[in-house]
Amino acid sequence: MSLGKQMVEALARLANDGPAAVNALAWTDGERRIAVDGPVASARLDLADSDRYSVALRSLEVELAAGEVPVDTRTYLSDHAADLIRRLSYLEEPLAVWELDGAEALAQLRSSPPQREGEEIAYWEVVVRAGERPSASIARYRWIPGLPEREPVIYPATFALVGRLTDSLVAALAE
């Protein structure tokens, strides 16, 4: 069973039976986190709320159980970033590489172009990290002139979308 399907099942248990039924549910600093482990990777979903078929997604992160430290980190990040751009083409906006830092073993992708409503800018951000346990995370942000920094956006996502995002992140890291 894919990690995405495991995540969807955990979310369905949460919706049907409440927090006590989900062993992977943790409360930390007032935030809800669901963690799901598989043989290839693990996933952690941070959510603000949930209902019968959807969650208020804060962020989703997947981490491979093991990986090889790449000899050429920059090429590794570039290849996996390109794969993520293809696999996440179903998001509202297409993604593009925003920053690629081989020394920090990090690639950052963002919506390109971002969504604009008046002066507000909203965008997806995906961060890929190389190393012994490669990881990728996705979250939505917004920025309005006058704000000192961007703000995370709580994104309404169906269980199916969370499962698809999970599987897309795992597949891009694992290949």
pLDDT tens, N- to C-terminus, the chain (175 residues): 899 999 999 888 888 876 666 655 555 555 688 889 999 999 999 998 888 889 999 999 999 987 776 788 999 999 999 999 999 999 999 999 999 998 899 999 999 999 999 999 999 999 999 988 999 999 999 999 988 899 999 999 999 999 999 999 999 998 8
Q: Specify the length of the chain in residues.
A: 175
Contact between 146 and 116 (Cβ < 8 Å): no
Domains in the chain, number:
1
pLDDT at 17: 72
Collapsed DSSP state (helix, strand, coil) of residue 134 = coil
* pTM of the predicted structure, to 2 decimals: 0.91
CA distance 139 to 155: 8
Contact between 9 and 159 (Cβ < 8 Å): no
pLDDT at 49: 84
CA distance 96 to 170: 19
Range of the domain at 137: 3-174
**Residue 19: in which H helix or E strand, if any?**
none
Long-range contact pairs involving 85-94 (C-beta distance under 8 Å, separation at least 24): 85/109, 87/168, 87/171, 87/172, 88/124, 88/126, 88/138, 88/165, 88/168, 90/164, 91/124, 92/124, 93/123, 93/124
pLDDT at 4: 96
